[in-house]
Amino acid sequence: MRIQLIIFMLLRTILNSAHRMVYPFLSVFARGVGVELQTFSLLMTARSLVGALSPFFAPIADRRGRKFGMLMGISIFIFGMFIVAIYPSFWTLAIALMLAMVGKFIFDPSMQAYFGDRIPYHKRGTALAVTEVAWSFAFIFGIPLVGFLIDRFGWSAPFPLFTLLGLLAFFIVWRIVPKEDTHHEPVMNSREGFRAVFSSKTAIIGISIALFASAANE
């Protein structure tokens, strides 16, 4: 399980790098697609609005299984990166950023649920913290690589690489995650989950902290 934690930390670094690369290179992408910075900023707002729908994406892992959720998230990510790789434009970039957001918000809870099913409660926080290192690694390693590619080959250069890395991530998850999910029983009715969350003061406080932390980061 330790090896899997490290592997998934690296896989999340890929998705997080694609997510975070927009911030330091905002003006570069805006010039590349031929729009004003203000217009491109509206695209970032639209991406955040799509992210607000994440609670409706997360139950996929409960209904269809953890592996299905992870593979679905990666597939959406791959498609988003691919359309920019083959046809770089403002609209394909807009679609790609939103799809990458959706893919990340399907993959992340599926992965967290996968480890939550298998790791004892008293060790779960440490285990998930290992995978969260990917958020820092994205800026430490991913963003410099993106900057190098953009400097050498143009604003769309990172997208073919992310497409290939996404395919590699899909293959790795497909190979190492068991097909039969014996640690989890499918839940067809997600309303009970929402009801349990919003009836818990602890859960609401946790969501509020995450919301303010994300807002500060953005």
Per-residue pLDDT of the chain (218 residues; tens, 9 = 90+): 789 999 999 999 999 999 999 999 999 999 999 999 989 988 988 888 887 777 777 778 888 889 999 999 999 999 999 999 999 999 999 999 999 999 999 999 999 999 998 899 888 889 989 999 999 999 999 999 999 999 999 999 999 999 999 999 999 999 999 876 665 565 555 666 667 677 777 878 877 777 777 666 66
Q: Is the pTM higher than 0.85? A: yes
pLDDT of residue 194: 66
CA distance 102 to 58: 10
Contact 16, 138 (CB under 8 A): yes
Of 67, 97, 73, nearest to 84 by C-alpha is 97
pLDDT of residue 135: 92
What are the residues whose beta carbons fall under 8 Å from the beta carbon of 37, sequence distance 6 or more? 26, 27, 30
pLDDT of residue 138: 96
pLDDT of residue 63: 82
CB atoms within 10 A of CB 121: 7
φ, ψ of residue 114 to 5 degrees: the values are -60, -45
pLDDT of residue 209: 79
